[in-house]
Structure 1
Amino acid sequence: MSLKESLLAIRANSFLAPPHAFELTLEMIAHIGSPDPQLRDELIYSTFSHWIEEGVLSPEQLQELLAIALDDQHLFYRIGENGTDSVFTRSFSVLLLPLILILHRNHPFLAKEAIYYVKDKLFSYIRQETDLRGYVEEKGWAHATAHAADALDDLAQCSELDKTDLKQILGVIRETIAGAKSVYAHEEDERLVTAVLSVWNRDELSLDDIDGWVRSFANRLDNSYSIEAYTVRINVKNFLRSLYYRIHDQEKYKRIAATLLPLSAQRA
């Protein structure tokens, strides 16, 4: 029976794990970058989601799975390529991180050093990923930036991280928005805003810290007419507008909303 046939049968049985679940898990991660969207997204990722949430895998097995997801054949597989199928391996490897981090927050099993290892690898991946496609015709979602944003969101909620780490997450998000070489067209800004709010809601940063970070986007609202400047301006404005919309009615962030409004309303 092929992997796809096995997973179709498992899905039909409410994702009930077979006795050889971990062996199948290793086969699943070996094919996590399949260009077949049903196998990759509906079957492999969905099965991972159910089994990790339901505790099918032991802490030791999850640690092994995490190490594989972060290695050069998965998160960094052919990193730097653009427009090829390799992005699916990278973007779906990064999408495993939220599943594992959520379980860890609810039932801790990772050492603090492991959380910092995830942080370092995730930051490195985000800074090296150049394939920013969202939906790919016939092959489904690549969505590397959105998936990385989901990982940042759950990483930010890990109590092991301190104020310095949270500031670094905001720095990576700023780089992701202000340094992209193409316009984000598939709501990547919304997913990144969710990660921002997870950082802020840790209540480790002062309003001065947050306000200063928001104001740091002002110098990326360049009104020149180069393609590069226009791309950055569009991404920054969309991101700031999304952020403003999410916080404008929260008393806690009234000052921040007042800073965001004129920035997000700037015209070319």
Structure 2
Amino acid sequence: MTDWAQVRADDFAVPTDRPLAELVSELSGLLRSPDPIERDSIAYSTLATWIGRGVLSGDQLRELGDEMARRFGDSELQARTFAPLILDCIVSAGVYEASWVPPFERWYVAESDLRGYDAKLGWLHAVAHGADLLGTLGLYPAVEPVEMLRLGIGRLLTPTEYVLREMEDDRLGYALAATLTRSELTVEDATEWLVPAFTGIVPPAATISPVNTNTTRTLRALYVFVDRGVRLPDASEATQIPHRAEIKAQLVEVLRLVTRSYF
């Protein structure tokens, strides 16, 4: 077995004593590990660095992407939640397969364990890691941006008893904002994905539901991005979102359902 701690210490230099395919296979296996050091500090960090540096060929990236798409049905939570991170790296490197999207969409709205962090498993971040991939797909020319916008609101409105923590809502707000920068979106495209929130959010009674809390926090973050602009990957300045006035007006109407006495 490769000394991966030494690989990390050597600035992720690729070992020369084993075929690259074997190394990638071993790292992929470590992505399922319940040990956060093996999974996050070693497997994810190494694969992300190698993908970013162009170490893996296009065919190797597709093979790895296929494996990550299958991971969305894995029995282990940490395996499911780290799959979108690797797919995010792969798509960001310019390799994309349409077959990866449906498994991701099914998992993202259905995942029930939304813990950001666990004392034994470390970072899990289902919503945040999924949001990272959602935002990358939302910017990818071959993906319909409305599909990603609908996926985002679908995730928020899926019943849960868990209130998001560790900046999960901000990560999803950023992903939605990035998707909204797509120039082909019409006014209707940019606003109508929010329509399900008008029935999915229940006006508060004695308590505020986790769905209401998660949705309003995320949409408040999105409002700021729409108002101020969003800095896309590798950009030095913020990109302004088209149809700003119309999107903000729609967001206000959704937020008014929960905070109607505030404005």
TM-score bucket (shorter structure): 0.7 to 0.9
Offset, 1:208: 2.6
Q: Quote the RMSD (CA, aligned, Å).
A: 2.1
Q: Distance in 2 between matches of 1:46 and 1:189?
A: 23
* In the alignment, structure 1 residue 208 sits paired with structure 2 residue 188: yes
Q: How does 1:86-165 map to 2 (within 5 A)?
A: 86-104=76-94, 109-110=95-96, 114=97, 116-161=98-143, 165=144
Q: Which amino acid aligns with 1:223?
A: P
* Structure 1 gap segments, 5+ residues each: 79-85
Higher helix content, 1 or 2: 1
72, 77, 88: which one aligns with 2:74: 77
Q: How does 1:1-268 map to 2 (within 5 A)?
A: 2-3=1-2, 6-19=3-16, 20=18, 21-71=20-70, 74-78=71-75, 86-104=76-94, 109-110=95-96, 114=97, 116-161=98-143, 165-181=144-160, 182-225=162-205, 230-249=209-228, 252=242, 253-264=244-255, 266-267=258-259
Q: Distance in 1 between matches of 2:254 and 2:108?
A: 25
SS of the equivalent of 2:129 reads helix
List structure 1 segments (4+ residues) > 3 angstroms apart after TM superposition: 224-227, 249-252
Residues 77 and 236 of structure 1, relative CA distance in 2, 3 Å threshold? same
Residues 208 and 67 of structure 1, relative CA distance in 2, 3 Å threshold? closer
Residues 180 and 192 of structure 1, relative CA distance in 2, 3 Å threshold? farther
Q: Distance in 1 between matches of 2:106 and 2:254?
A: 29
Give the TM-score of the pair, scaled to structure 1: 0.83
Offset, 1:170: 1.3
Q: Distance in 1 between matches of 2:171 and 2:65?
A: 22
- Count of aligned pairs between the two proteins: 244
Q: Distance in 2 between matches of 1:215 and 1:75?
A: 28
Contact 1:220 1:236 (8 Å CA) reproduced: no
Q: Distance in 1 between matches of 2:222 and 2:174?
A: 9
Q: Which amino acid aligns with 1:237?
A: T
* Structure 2 gap segments, 5+ residues each: 230-239
| % same residue | 28
Q: Distance in 1 between matches of 2:7 and 2:228?
A: 45
Offset, 1:146: 0.9
Contact 1:223 1:230 (8 Å CA) reproduced: no
